[in-house]
């Protein structure tokens, strides 16, 4: 199995989600949990952006062991120097710098020519290379950049010593096949293209971030940039838990593995939700409340007989407390009997029938029937079951 590096950017790109900002203390708490989760690379923030941010990156660099810390910077000398300083005590580190490459960014944001962009990228990589060996370079908005120019930028930064090339789908525009092909063509079309590592960084504007990351892996990419709960700008980044579980569930097909400790996934998701005060959609894959809950009678019946009838993953594996059956108006007799047995209440078929009738009346008036309500129906003296 080929190892895929999990690069976590919850504390940098994830924190850019509106309303999700974190105190330095909260960042440190989350970083500790991310180490426990087993991510390979941790991008703890943007050191130049504020003194608190610098301090958090510095403390995380000093404290976290067995993990590579990534200092984030624009392709600007002051940013790079600040990222170098903040990460200087890390056991293992890299500098990650970015510079826009698409015409729309060059014309309206940077107001620079293509020649100027190549020159800046070249100079800034050369500057960082004096102090650190591992340099990741991101041509921002790469998926909307003309291919020839993208190759020119990548070739220039490799020549100056960049060791990791990230191809960000900054605005979540790419389709899986074309995103995978982009990596293949960069690797084959750029001088030095075979001498570096490649990274995928996908945003979820079209709901394709996980699919695009998998396409990149299938094209040979060895690092994926993700956030817990898929948090990030706009519709967010590629979700760590979704991608990792896709790789795990389909590992025989994909031939890859990660070092993520699956049983820490749920605890990490809860912690990020709490610290960022950012709700998770009920139907979000893996960590949403409904992800492993079933209401339809036919599904419940199947699950009681064999979990694999309607589940492709075992939630226990990700540390998710199992409560797979939700009682509601679609539930059948089997599910009611099963839930009562989980509550150590055994009933016979004569008791079940009247209980089922009362259950259906109640379920018609509300969305779900709780365990307490079920037991109350069973005990209701006015309507003995
Ligand atoms: O989405 C993006 O382009 C980024 C880069 C700066 C890596 O977050
Ligand atoms: Zn991003």
- For the segment 22-31, the average pLDDT, to the nearest whole number, is 97
Judge contact between 238 and 204, C-beta under 8 A. Answer: yes
Signed CA dihedral, 109, 113, 118, 119: sign only: negative
pLDDT at 33: 98
In this prediction, residues 113-134 reach a mean pLDDT of 98
Residue 338 CA, ligand 2 centroid: distance in Å = 46
Cβ–ligand 1 contact at 101 (below 6 Å): no
> Following CA atoms 66, 71, 72, 78 in sequence, which dihedral angle do they give, to the nearest 10 degrees?
180
Provide the pLDDT confidence category of residue 343 given band limits of 50, 70 and 90.
confident
Quote the CA–CA distance of 355 and 168 in Å, as a whole number. 57
Distance CA 137, CA 129 (A): 12
Whether residue 300 has its Cβ less than 6 Å from ligand 1: no
Res 381: pLDDT: 60
The answer to whether the CB of 170 is under 6 A from ligand 1 is yes
- CA 214 – ligand 2 centroid, Å: 17
- For residue 4, pLDDT over 70 is answered with yes
Q: Is the beta carbon of 138 within 6 A of some atom in ligand 1?
A: yes
State the average pLDDT for the chain: 95
Three-class secondary structure of residue 318 per DSSP: helix
Which of 79, 95, 110, 170 should be mutated for ligand 1, with most atoms under 8 A from CB?
Answer: 170
Give the closest ligand to the alpha carbon of residue 227: 2
| Residue 37 near residue 260 (C-beta atoms within 8 A) | yes
**Percent over 70 (pLDDT), the chain:** 98
3-state class percentages of the chain: helix first, strand second, coil last, to nearest 5: 50, 15, 35
DSSP secondary structure code for residue 264 in this structure: G
| b/e burial code for range 317-330 (CB count within 10 A of at least 16 → b) | ebbbeeebbbbbbe
CB distance 75 to ligand 1 below 6 Å: no
Measured from the Cα of 140, ligand 1's closest atom is 3
- Residue 359's pLDDT is 96
| 235 CA distance to ligand 2 middle (Å) | 11
Please give the number of the atom of ligand 1 that sits closest to the Cα of 203. Answer: 1
Q: Could you say which ligand is closest to the alpha carbon of residue 140?
A: 1
pLDDT higher than 80, residue 237: yes
Q: Probe ligand 1: pick from 94, 105, 139, 168, max atoms within 8 Å of CB?
A: 168
Lowest mean pLDDT segment, chosen from 101-110, 274-283, 299-308, 346-355? 299-308
Instruction: Give the number of whichever ligand sits closest to the CA of residue 173.
Output: 1
Alpha-carbon dihedral of residues 49, 75, 199, 173, nearest 10 degrees? 80
Question: How many CB atoms sit inside 10 A of residue 31's CB?
Answer: 26
Ligand 1 mean position, distance from CA 167 (Å): 9
What pTM was estimated for this model as a whole? 0.92
154's tokens: 């990548």
C-alpha 347 to ligand 2 mean position (Å): 55
Write the DSSP string, 103-144.
HHHIIIII---HHHHHHHHHHHHHHHHTT-S-EEEEEETGGG
Hey, what are 279's tokens? 């709700």
Q: For residue 334, what are the contacts with CB-CB under 8 A and spacing of at least 6?
A: 297, 300, 301, 304
Question: Taking phi first (over 0 means left), then psi (-120 to 50 degrees means alpha), and beta for anything else, what does residue 234 get?
Answer: left
What tokens appear for 360 in the block? Answer: 């259906």
169 lines ligand 1 (CB under 6 A): no
Phi/psi of residue 95, nearest 5 degrees = -105, 135
Q: Which residues contact 162 (CB under 8 A, 6 or more apart)?
A: 125, 135, 136, 137, 196
Q: Is the pLDDT of residue 284 over 80?
A: yes
Q: Which ligand is nearest to the CA of 167?
A: 1
Mean pLDDT of 238-250: 98
- What are 28's two structure tokens? 């440190």
Q: From the alpha carbon of 168, which atom of ligand 1 is closest?
A: 3
Q: Whose CA is nearest to atom 1 of ligand 1?
A: 170
168 lines ligand 1 (CB under 6 A): yes
Looking at residue 325, what is its pLDDT?
Answer: 78
Q: How far is CA 80 from the centre of its chain?
A: 26
Q: Atom 6 of ligand 1 has which residue's CA nearest to it?
A: 98
- With beta carbons less than 8 A apart as the criterion, state whether 95 and 128 touch: yes
Asked if residues 87 and 69 have their Cβ atoms less than 8 Å apart, the reply is yes
Output the residue whose Cα is nearest ligand 1's atom 3: 170
Atom of ligand 1 nearest to the CA of 171: 1
Assess whether the C-beta atom of 201 lies below 6 angstroms from ligand 1.
yes
Separation of CA 261 and ligand 2 centre (Å): 24
Let me know: does 284 contact 293? Beta carbons within 8 Å. Answer: no
Q: Assess whether pLDDT exceeds 80 at residue 322.
A: no
> For the segment 149-203, what is each residue's pLDDT rounded down to a tens digit?
999 999 999 999 999 999 999 999 999 999 999 999 999 999 999 999 999 999 9
* CA atoms of 199 and 292, how far apart (whole Å): 31
Q: How many C-beta atoms lie closer than 10 Å to residue 218's C-beta?
A: 17
Residues in the chain: 385
Judge whether residue 274 has pLDDT over 70.
yes
DSSP state of 16: G
Ligand 2 geometric centre to CA of 201 (Å): 6
How far is it, in rounded angstroms, from Cα 272 to Cα 285?
16
**Confidence band, pLDDT 50/70/90 cuts, at residue 342:** confident
Q: How close is the Cα of 42 to the center of ligand 1, in Å?
A: 15
């Amino acid at each position: 199995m080929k190892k895929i590096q999990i690069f976590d950017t919850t504390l940098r790109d994830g924190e850019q989600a509106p309303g999700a900002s974190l105190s330095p203390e909260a960042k440190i708490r989350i970083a500790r949990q991310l180490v426990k989760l087993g991510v390979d690379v941790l991008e703890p923030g943007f050191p130049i952006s504020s003194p608190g941010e610098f301090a958090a990156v510095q403390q995380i660099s000093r404290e976290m062991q067995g993990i590579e810390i990534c200092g984030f910077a624009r392709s600007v000398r002051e940013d790079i120097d600040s990222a170098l300083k903040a990460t200087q005590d890390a056991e293992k580190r890299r500098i990650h710098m970015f510079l826009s490459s698409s015409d729309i960014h060059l014309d309206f944001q940077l107001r620079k020519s293509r020649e100027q962009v190549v020159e800046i990228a070249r100079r800034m990589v050369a500057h960082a290379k004096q102090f650190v060996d591992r340099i990741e370079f991101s041509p921002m908005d790469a998926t909307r950049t003309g291919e020839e120019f993208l190759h020119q930028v990548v070739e220039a930064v490799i020549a100056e010593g960049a060791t990791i090339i990230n191809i960000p789908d900054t605005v979540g525009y790419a389709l899986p096949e074309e995103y995978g092909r982009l990596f293949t063509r960069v690797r084959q079309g750029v001088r030095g293209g075979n001498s570096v590592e490649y990274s995928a960084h996908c945003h979820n504007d079209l709901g394709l971030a996980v699919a695009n990351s998998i396409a990149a892996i299938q094209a040979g990419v060895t690092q994926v940039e993700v956030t817990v709960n898929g948090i990030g700008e706009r519709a967010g980044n590629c979700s760590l838990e979704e991608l990792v579980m896709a790789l795990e569930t389909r590992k025989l097909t994909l031939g890859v593995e990660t070092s993520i400790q699956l049983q820490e996934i749920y605890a990490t998701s809860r912690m990020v939700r709490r610290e960022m005060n950012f709700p998770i959609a009920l139907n979000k894959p893996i960590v949403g409340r409904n992800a492993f809950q079933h209401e339809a009678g036919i599904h419940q019946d199947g699950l009681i007989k064999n979990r694999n009838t309607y589940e492709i993953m075992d939630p226990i594996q990700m540390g998710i407390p199992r409560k797979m059956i939700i009682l509601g108006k679609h539930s059948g007799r089997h599910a009611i009997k099963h839930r009562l047995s989980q509550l150590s209440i055994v009933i016979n078929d004569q008791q079940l029938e009247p209980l089922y009738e009362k259950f259906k009346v109640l379920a018609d008036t509300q969305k779900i029937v709780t365990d307490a309500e079920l037991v109350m129906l069973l005990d209701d003296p006015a309507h003995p079951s």
